[in-house]
Structure 1
Amino acid sequence: MKEFDIIKNYFLSRSYQRKDVQLGIGDDCALTTVPEGQQLVTTTDTLAESVHFPKGTSGRAVAHKALSVNLSDLAAMGAEPAWISLSLSIPEYDEAWLRDFSLCLQELTDYYSIQLIGGDTVQGPLSITITAQGFVPQGQALMRSKAKPGDWIYVTGTLGDAGLGLELLQTEKAAEPMHRNYLINRLNFPSPRLMVGTTLRRLATTCIDLSDGLKSDVQHILFASQTGAVINVEQLPLSEAMLATVGKDEGIRYALTAGDDYELLFTVSEEQKGSLEVALANCNVSATCIGRINGVQEKLELQRGDKPYQLPETGFQHFS
């Protein structure tokens, strides 16, 4: 099947339609309108086979993850998603894989009211690039540079599950079938915390999504804000599946260093702490306080109880 037939059969006919799109798929460019009083937020992520997902991963899982990691970036800015562009590189025409990929993409774009407005399809190594765009009210975008000494550090959900899920796929590590399925699904089907992101607009001082591991990602906030932090590893939220499979000590290591969780890490002032906990009750997502920002520039201290905690590993980095 030729490129334009693939676009027509798998993507054009299944695209959610938004009123703020004047011209979508089918021309050289798309034409869209940003609502008055809103800022446009744009992010791009690429997922490559054997780098971001194992060879043989289903089309459904690849589509879910490819879109979710972009929506997670929008969530970290407090944005609501609107449009996506898709660049798809596939080694050959595979009807079953493309059907699963496009159907999952359709389900998610329908669910989040997002329109696919353009992109490209080429023959080559399996790789998916999505550019996602959304809106945030003028001046309300969450950034990494506003943390202040005394702010509390929170994370949503549980940490390290995706990293352990990847290890279960790549090694002979044992796990109960129920826990194995849960952990692998956390890798393949992350949940972008969009509702949490919009809730945090007027409450959080900074926010970032956790893609490369907590220990690495929190450093981005410390660098941008020129602050330090203390994190108590005893407070890191670990799932039942994590604890049952590797125990707490190993669970802490996964929580600090494993990537692909796509939870949100954010900071909140002392004055907003009470309001935060009330607001998050409506999001049906747990959030755990794990530490506090201090004035020691760009220094991250890990503690376990009242003692220093040493962990030499860092999160994932390309080209390292």
Structure 2
Amino acid sequence: MKYIALVFAFASFSIISAQTSIGNLFAAGVEDAERFADAYFMPATEATIYSMSNGWYNTADAKPLGGFEISFVGNITGFKNKDDKQAFNLDTADYENIQFADGSTSKLVSTALGDIEGVRILIEDESGLFSEEFELPSGLAGENINFVPTGFVQASVGLIKGMEVKARFLPKIATDDVKIGLFGAGLQYDFTKLLPADKILPVAISAVIGYTNLNGEYNFTDANLIAGDNQRIDANFKTWNFSAVVSTRKIPVINFYGGLGYITGTSETAFLGTYEANGPFFTSTVTDPFTLENDASGIAATLGTKIKLGFFRLNVDYNIAEFSTLTAGMHFGFR
């Protein structure tokens, strides 16, 4: 359950070996540990931003006053063919106290999405009296996971003519080590409802704005990676989706929709608690050592279809962006 929850919420935190290696890196100093963690986790936070931003619409035809829909939405954001997001170049010249065990000065190492194993680094003081060697972590691809999933429950209600409000949430999931929660709100406005010929037009055109917030906490104190207390990762993701949507609307059972939008989001990943390491570069206890801040944004295009069978509906769409996402939804409601 813990492993599934971590992948589900923020996949970059699901590989325990990553926590071990970052804990070891504290022996080289906080600055080196932070620099590596930032490069390692950044692509995973980007993929999570794109994943959780999707699923806001399945038609451009806004619901009438009192119409509602309850939805169960799942997103799968793939990165199998994104080699540039699965590795980064670690140049020892950029680090104060880290070198490769084989004497190299730079080489590609895995990100949290990648699959590069067997890369060993060495931490050594000038006198040679202290040295520590360990292997850098691989990533999700090393576990045969090539996607970042997100999911939530979403509700939509029609208000005044052409206006529809939306809300999404993931009920709080909590285990001994993991806590996850998600919420969001959105607005859709159907411009075709303003036209006199609205009742006979074969298509609808809407604007959609959606905001999503995901919070997660992973407590790894009990893993005994490095001496200390209350060691945990707190992550907060905030995303916006601005889209123009067009869809067919008069076909009885199946309709089609497409959208062009802009996705933008930020993430804050805080390494909290106290950490102790015995080494020449880190000899005292450090509290709340660092917070990683990342952002992602870009244009996204969506194509999808929706099947309606009475009060039951299904939809599937594909979103083409920096990290492309497959979305599927199951919906219940009436217009």
Pairwise TM-score range, normalised by the shorter structure: under 0.3
Tell me the TM-score normalised to structure 2 length: 0.22
Tell me the TM-score normalised to structure 1 length: 0.23
Q: Which of the pair is proportionally richer in helix?
A: 1
Q: Higher Cα Rg: structure 1 or 2?
A: 2
Q: Which of the pair is proportionally richer in strand?
A: 2
